[in-house]
Amino acid sequence: MKNFSAFDIIGPRMIGPSSSHTAGAARLGRVAAKIGGDDIQNVVFLLHGSFAQTYRGHGTDRALVAGILGMEPNDENLRMSMEIASEKGLNFEFIKTDLGDEHPNTVKIIMTNKVGEKTEVTGSSIGGGSIKITQINGLVVEFTGEYPTLVVRQIDQPGVIAKVTKILNEFEINVAFMRVFRHSKGQDAFMIIETDTVVSKEVICKIKDSGKEIIHIYSIKSI
């Protein structure tokens, strides 16, 4: 069981009204935007369950957009996020939907960047502002962003994983959890690496340059 800190009890600092529907939504948006990369121009939010039902009253819509803009859940500008997004030329749309057998507070975020590339991220707000990412581009994954997390998109080939862990080793980065998710052999796959300490830009750059099997790497720290 998690060893609660005093600041898990007195905290988080957040914009109201709801840790799950507002703070958690902002975190989901933020993590999705990290995976979506730079230059996101268009976002569609597919809202499921309680998110679909109560998103207006809880400001879930504003929180999600704020997250896409990179705001933290306690950013005073969160309530103005839609206006700020419009000024920046970011288009967004909310669609109520049924994503099937998912957690009641789930959203599928479809981002399109300037050159028309699409990234889809699905995640749930699982209580107290904590989140869980469950799908990236249709691939089932699972991570919470509570630890510093590296999401590595790679071509599924022998030796890729060893290469990455070797670099982490060299820099004495302790891996807390590591999992690999893939469609099928030899195709696109994701490696999710949760570490104890934040991974520096240098390390990320080294991993990126370690081979052409590495398509992309994102560093996520949501809390």
Partner 1 sequence: MLTEFSNGVELSKICNESNKKIWEIMIEREVENSQLDREAILNYMKENLNIMKNSIKKGLYEDVKSVSGLVGGDAKLIRERYENEKTVSGKRMNKAVASAVAVLEVNASMGQIVAAPTAGSSGILPAALVTVGEDFHISDDQLSKALFTASAIGYIITKNATVAGAEGGCQAETGAAAAMAASALVELLGGSPEQALDAAAMTIKNILGLVCDPLAGLVEVPCVKRNAIGVANAFICSDMALAGVKSVIPFDEVVEAMYKVGKSLPCELRETALGGLAATPTGIRIKKQIFSKK
Residues near partner 1, by CB under 8 A: 1, 3-19, 22-23, 50, 53-54, 56-59, 62, 74, 76, 78-79, 127-129
Q: What's the min distance (Å) between Cβ of 210 and partner 1? A: 29
Q: What's the min distance (Å) between Cβ of 96 and partner 1? A: 11
- Cβ distance to partner 1 smaller for residue 24 or 145: 24
Q: What's the min distance (Å) between Cβ of 104 and partner 1? A: 10
Q: What's the min distance (Å) between Cβ of 7 and partner 1? A: 7
- Cβ distance to partner 1 smaller for residue 38 or 172: 172
**Euclidean distance between CA atoms 168 and 148, whole angstroms:** 13
Q: What's the min distance (Å) between Cβ of 75 and partner 1? A: 9
Q: What's the min distance (Å) between Cβ of 144 and partner 1? A: 17
**Euclidean distance between CA atoms 38 and 211, whole angstroms:** 22
Supply the DSSP string of 60-101, one letter for each residue.
HHHHHHHHHTT--TT-GGGGGHHHHHHHHT-EEEEEEE--SS
C-beta separation of 22 from 63 below 8 A:
yes
- Cβ distance to partner 1 smaller for residue 128 or 186: 128
Cα separations in angstroms, 101 against 37, 48, 137, 146: 28, 10, 18, 24
- Cβ distance to partner 1 smaller for residue 78 or 99: 78
Q: Which two tokens stand for residue 109?
A: 């975020």
- Smallest CA-to-CA distance from 94 within 54, 140, 131 is with 54
Reported as type and span, the H/E element at residue 134 is strand 130-136
**Euclidean distance between CA atoms 177 and 148, whole angstroms:** 11
- Cβ distance to partner 1 smaller for residue 15 or 191: 15
C-beta separation of 143 from 221 below 8 A:
no
Q: Name the one residue in this structure whose structure tokens are 């107290």.
A: 128
Q: What's the min distance (Å) between Cβ of 195 and partner 1? A: 14
**Euclidean distance between CA atoms 131 and 128, whole angstroms:** 9
- Cβ distance to partner 1 smaller for residue 50 or 124: 50
- Cβ distance to partner 1 smaller for residue 77 or 91: 77
